[in-house]
Amino acid sequence: MPLTPTIVWFRQDLRLQDNPALHAALARGAAVLPVYILDEPGEGRWGAGGATRWWRHHALAALDASLRDRGSRLLLFRGNARAVLRQLVNGTEAGAVYWNRRYEPASVARDQAIKTEFAAAGLDARSFNGALLNEPHAVLNKQGRPFQVFTPYWRTCVTLPVAAPLKFGAAQIPAPAGWPGSLELDELALRPFIPWDRGLAETWEPGETGAARRLARFADRAMDDYDEHRNRPDLDGTSMLSPWLHAGELSPRQVWAAVKARSRASGVFPPSNGARVFLAEVGWREFAHHLLFHFPHTPEQPLRAEFARFPWAEDPGGMHLRAWQRGRTGYPIVDAGMRQLWHTGWMHNRVRMVVASFLVKHLRLPWQRGAEWFWDTLVDADLANNTLGWQWTAGCGADAAPYFRVFAPVLQGVKFDPHGEYVRRWVPELAKLPAKHIQAPWEAPADVLAAAGVRLGANYPAPVVDHGTARAAALAAFKRLRGGESEA
């Protein structure tokens, strides 16, 4: 008697290589039904933002094309995932449902309910780790509690074995005798109705192939210099792999294996200091998921509870928030980052720290407002990473930067964009300014501004706040939070 079909429920694992759920389905030996379900209420408050939806549309198209090359296809549905899967099981007489785990609070609760229901009905309902090197429950401190500081967490992780990526070796994927009905991709309505996405299309190649190309390029050209170049937004010195990792078109085990492959000639792992620093950044992604899993309230509430009382500033009419969102703060490095984000759906990590610090310390606006904006505009809007990054900057999370560390945007620009090339690219109004003045145009002599065609307050804004005044106000607010204690 032939085996009943296996449903493979794709989510943020839109790839064939190193996909444990797909691998297990093929090993089961029955027909495979690849399924994607757009279940926005099931994501809770953090349903996909606009940039992520754009990426997902193209990633699903790429996955479907890969499946069709192997005699299969991707079935698309919209609705409550539990109900859709139940209907599919009943309609196809499937005997197994496999998927790869996610760690967002809403996903954890939903997955457990699905697994319980299907197991009670006699189905083979299983989930797998396809997203992390080490799952959150597997790495604990000596007291059996979750880590809240990165260094000891990562020191523990690097002692643990990392399995080799699973190879997708099937020339063909076993197909059912008949396919159930499915939506067309456009019916999911993931792409924007108003065409704002030209910059995204110019910048990215969603899909497993694009991920492999970018990983190979980084490993060959930039990885060994990563430690020296990663903080320079004017250089192509970072991996830019985060969108593919977020969509699951690339796994961290594949990244780890690519670094290991570079070690074969020398026998040394990691093969360079740049590679070691790069793997530690992969470790920060792991740490973010570790924190989200163990502290599920943190996307909305600070991990350090006392920061719930922080005296944020008033922003009548949202003027300061809008200036920050649109890259009109008058601080060139901040504005360049926000415009890069709007055009490409991505921002250099050093600049993310600068613009985040500016929002929560110069403007003294709640970190949640920044997290919400990033969530909607980033193609790599991962709930775990987004939460960790914003709480780190605000000083209210695990292993956080102290609140009284206030990034000086001019100094950050001078140090990390020394020739002003990053600003010139994203703030073209300032492109003709000499490097000496491009990070602080309000300090340039009138004749220099005139020669560059810069009219402060007209074609480029004056600073919305004074750095020294804003820094003093931020430190005073922190002092009030601490009940009069000094910043030390």
DSSP-derived secondary structure for 57-85: HHHHHHHHHHHHTTT---EEEES-HHHHH
Looking at residue 486, its pLDDT comes to 35
Looking at residue 263, its pLDDT comes to 86
Catalytic residue among 9, 342, 367, 426: 367
The pLDDT of residue 400 is above 80: no
The pLDDT of residue 401 is above 50: yes
Mean pLDDT, rounded, for 377-393: 96
Q: How confident is the model at residue 12 (pLDDT cuts 50, 70, 90)?
A: very high
Catalytic residue among 43, 284, 421, 442: 284
- 9 catalytic? Reply is no
CA terminus-to-terminus distance, the chain: 73
- 390 catalytic? Reply is yes
Burial (CB count <10 Å: 0-12, 13-18, 19+), residue 2: exposed
- Average pLDDT value for the chain: 95
pLDDT digits (tens, 9 = 90+) for 350-359: 999 999 999 9
Mean pLDDT, rounded, for 189-197: 89
Long-range contacts of 233-240 (CB under 8 A, 24+ apart): 233/336, 233/337, 233/348, 233/350, 233/351, 233/416, 233/417, 233/422, 234/416, 234/417, 234/418, 234/419, 234/421, 234/422, 238/348, 238/349, 239/214, 239/215, 239/278, 239/281, 240/214, 240/346
Task: Determine if the peptide bond prior to 152 is cis (ω within 30°).
Answer: no
pLDDT digits (tens, 9 = 90+) for 97-120: 999 999 999 999 999 999 999 999
The strand order across the sheet containing 75-78 reads: 75-78, 32-38, 6-10, 96-100, 124-128
Q: Per this entry, what is the length of the chain?
A: 488
Phi (first) and psi of residue 422, to 5 degrees: -65, -45
pLDDT digits (tens, 9 = 90+) for 405-445: 899 999 999 999 999 999 999 999 999 999 999 999 999 99
Looking at residue 193, its pLDDT comes to 85
Q: How confident is the model at residue 200 (pLDDT cuts 50, 70, 90)?
A: very high
Question: What share of the chain has pLDDT > 70, as a percent?
Answer: 99
**Separation CA 222–CA 278 (nearest Å):** 10
What pTM did the predictor assign?
A: 0.95
**Separation CA 246–CA 253 (nearest Å):** 14
Q: How confident is the model at residue 487 (pLDDT cuts 50, 70, 90)?
A: very low
Looking at residue 2, its pLDDT comes to 66
**Separation CA 488–CA 485 (nearest Å):** 8
- 426 catalytic? Reply is no
The pLDDT of residue 455 is above 90: yes
How far CA 102 is from CA of 117, 220, 388, in Å, comes to 18, 31, 17
Mean pLDDT, rounded, for 55-66: 98
266, 272 in Cβ contact below 8 A? Answer: no
Catalytic residue among 80, 312, 372, 421: 312
Catalytic residue among 135, 349, 421, 442: 349
Which domains are seen in the chain, by residue range? 6-129 (3.40.50.620), 132-163+207-294 (1.25.40.80), 305-481 (1.10.579.10)
Catalytic residue among 244, 342, 390, 392: 390
The pLDDT of residue 484 is above 50: no
The pLDDT of residue 1 is above 70: no
Catalytic residue among 43, 135, 205, 281: 281
pLDDT digits (tens, 9 = 90+) for 296-351: 999 999 999 999 999 999 999 999 999 999 999 999 999 999 999 999 999 999 99
CB atoms within 10 A of CB 485: 10
The pLDDT of residue 402 is above 90: no
Mean pLDDT, rounded, for 382-393: 96
- 281 catalytic? Reply is yes
